[in-house]
Structure 1
Amino acid sequence: MSEANARDDAPVILYRSPKSGHCHRVELMLALLDIPYETVDLDMQNGAHKAPGYLRISPLGQVPAIEDNGVALSDSNAILTYLVERYGDSALWRGADPVEKAQVQRWLSIAAGEIASGPCAARLVTLFGADLDHEAAKAKAHALFAVMETHLADRDWLVSDRPTLADIAGYSYIAHAPEGGVSLSPYPAIRAWLARIEALPGFVGMARSPELA
């Protein structure tokens, strides 16, 4: 962390649900950037995310959200962008040129689109009983993974010769896809990519549900 981006002693407060991949991608970024943080686990089943105090931090009542030195911010991809802009190396994580920046943004859109409607949605069904089409979500996951498997066949990272926000935003729900009934066995390149992320200094994992893995 550069002196220009140095922070005071107050940690970032991360409001989360511990088994949310959206929350985990933020926690992973905090850990990789070595930013001091504390977690606040919200009892979402009892409506903690709709309490007036929390809605002042996250107006849509969503997790994750952070508070950082007077800054309140929600939406996981927005938080990732904020963290690398304020405390990290923006060119390293967001892209060093217009092409890289656009490619990173493309994968952030995939994280909010195909990943959310594929492996994330499948996992919502098995872990939380969400009223979603499980078979359709699994099919979307496999369609995405087939594309990613080809993409990663001859490269280590999604965009560049180093990890970027694209990799961090994609990791959590893909790593936990088996919890949603989506096997990663047919995808050796994806599994190798996940292992590379897990080997990064500072990596922190998300709680697993072994009975569903």
Structure 2
Amino acid sequence: MSTIRSYRPADLEALYDVCIRTGHNGGDATGLYQDPRILPDIFTGPYLALRPELAFVLADEEDRAVGYIIGAADTPAFVDDFRRDWLPTVAGRYPEGSGAGRDAQRIRELHHPEWMWHEELAEYPAHLHIDLLPEAQGKGAGRALMGTYLAALRERGVRRVHLGMSAANHGARAFYDRLGFRELHRTGDGGGVTLGRETD
């Protein structure tokens, strides 16, 4: 029996592990990067540090984190905070311009967080990331996490939310479609998709 609770600092390493183990179109990204922590240092850590009030954990019977949902109610403000307050804490581990292949791409994303926002999303100011380990999927936990997060946004007066995903992650797209998300934007190469929905 799993439960949803607020994030605690003691969860950090477990949530980093979830991010890495689901970081390749929902599958394990451990062997794809020279330093796989680059993924949670972009997609998990800054939210836990900068927006912990919007971080919710899916915990198993032993209170071990097996999933999470995180995000920001105001994406432009989050991008500014990421650059000012988060990037200096991790930039030394991933110097700008370093790496090759996938690593280089992620390092560019880390140093240039403005990729998270564009004007087409002006009516969808909030965003989110949700990840569950395989053993936690298919049991309604993802839907429950999403409900918890959307309720938190509503409490803050936020009416719409968006998320970005790989177009190759067909399982995730089916999940989001069932929850009422619709396509807002697709990258020029078609590899990335932005989805959005109302919070109510």
Compute the TM-score of the two structures, normalised by the length of structure 2.
0.31
Structure having the larger proportion of residues in strand: 2
Structure possessing the higher radius of gyration over alpha carbons: 1
The structure whose residues are more often helix, as a share, is 1
TM-score (norm 1): 0.30
